[in-house]
Amino acid sequence: MIPLGSTRLLRRSVISLALAAACVPAAFAQAPIVIKFSHVVANDTPKGRAADFFAKRAAELTKGRVKVEVYPNSQLYKDKEEMEALQLGSVQMLAPSLSKFAPLGVKEFEAFDLPFIFDDYADLHAVTNGPVGQKLLKKLESRGITGLAYWDNGFKVMSANKPLRSVEDYKGLKMRIQSSKVLDAQMRAVGAMPQVLAFSETYQALQTGVVDGTENPPSNLYTQKMNEVQKHVSVTNHGYLGYAVVVNKKFWDGLPPDIRAALTKAMADSTKVANEVALKDNQDALAAVKATGKTTVHQPSIGERFLLKKAMIPVHKQMASRIGQETIDEIYKVTGFDPSKL
């Protein structure tokens, strides 16, 4: 016979076991969907801030059913590898710069690299928020990628260890560029020797003299400490650098519809954050570079900028067959840009 106390104990254990068993499937059901979001820049950049905001907003709007893990600074993958990782599903989300999509075969994205094609953010947004922007994102679908949004960074400065004032100053300089044929042509147009390097390798390449100079918005230059190894910066604003936020299509299509809707809303809110902080982050970064007193920041005169533009504009024609004249014309139409009128 089992004593009374033991029976009670036994009953209690059976009940706890039953409760625990009942909880197991629930616990599994509640395991959050993980989105690995890999990027190559620092947290305190427009992209870094927007990615962190997206992680927070996604958790809020899905009530914890989605956990976005942000991996900044090429911690997981460098430029080329991250694109492969996305297609393989090793990460679910990225925000590569628009210059990095052509190697996937979607060469139209290089239109964004055309020098002097956008005067300001308003021009750019007219394109990204309109049919051209949407058409380009759609082209990624056949590569297993869904485009969710465009995020701003900003307009690029040129840097080197010598002042870059006239077009002649670029002659013979080895300039690091992103993997874009348009940027290659742009550097050759001023007599420089372009060299494609991963973003994460740029600081060291500048430091060791593998390359002499580079181009990037000030926020990227400053947060990677490139200014510490570049004595001169020219605020040429000759081209734009921004991002497309992309997800693995299979992953995205497989999400429960309510989760996808919540993430779409989180993305819209994050896009606002990215675009609101971009201008200020770049202004602050440029001020910070100046404040170090170690890098001279040169503001080109109207005449200097005009000559740079004149040297670089032929790239539009040169690259038309690669990008597609149709896409270029669509952009011209939206922005009112006329290459014949300099």
Contact set with ligand LMR (CB under 6 A): 40-41, 47, 97, 153, 178, 199, 216, 220
Task: Return the number of the residue (176 or 232) whose C-beta is nearest ligand LMR.
Answer: 176
Specify whether the backbone of 74 is left (phi greater than 0), alpha (psi in -120 to 50) or beta: left
Q: How far is the CB of 97 from ligand LMR (least distance, A)?
A: 3
Instruction: Report helix, strand or coil for 23.
Output: helix
Structure-block tokens of residue 255: 């999400």
Q: Nearer to ligand LMR by C-beta: 62 or 178?
A: 178
Q: How far is the CB of 99 from ligand LMR (least distance, A)?
A: 6
Residues near 184 by Cβ (< 8 Å), separated by ≥ 6?
177, 194, 196
Q: Which two tokens stand for residue 199?
A: 């973003």
Q: How far is CA 145 from the centre of its chain?
A: 15
Q: How many residues does the chain have?
A: 342
Cβ proximity to ligand LMR: between 66 and 83 the closer is: 83
Nearest approach, Cβ of residue 214 and ligand LMR (Å): 8
- Least Å distance, CB 199 to ligand LMR, is 3
Question: Shortest distance, CB of residue 303 to ligand LMR, whole angstroms?
Answer: 28
Residue among 69, 54, 92 nearest 265 (CA)? 54
- Residue placing its CB nearer to ligand LMR in the complex, 72 or 262: 72
Cβ–Cβ under 8 Å, residues 106 and 139: yes
Nearer to ligand LMR, 108 or 113 (CB): 113
**Nearer Cβ to ligand LMR (152/304):** 152
Minimum gap (Å) between residue 253 Cβ and ligand LMR: 26
* DSSP β-bridge partners for residue 67: 34
User: HSE on the CB side for 64, CA within 13 Å?
Assistant: 3
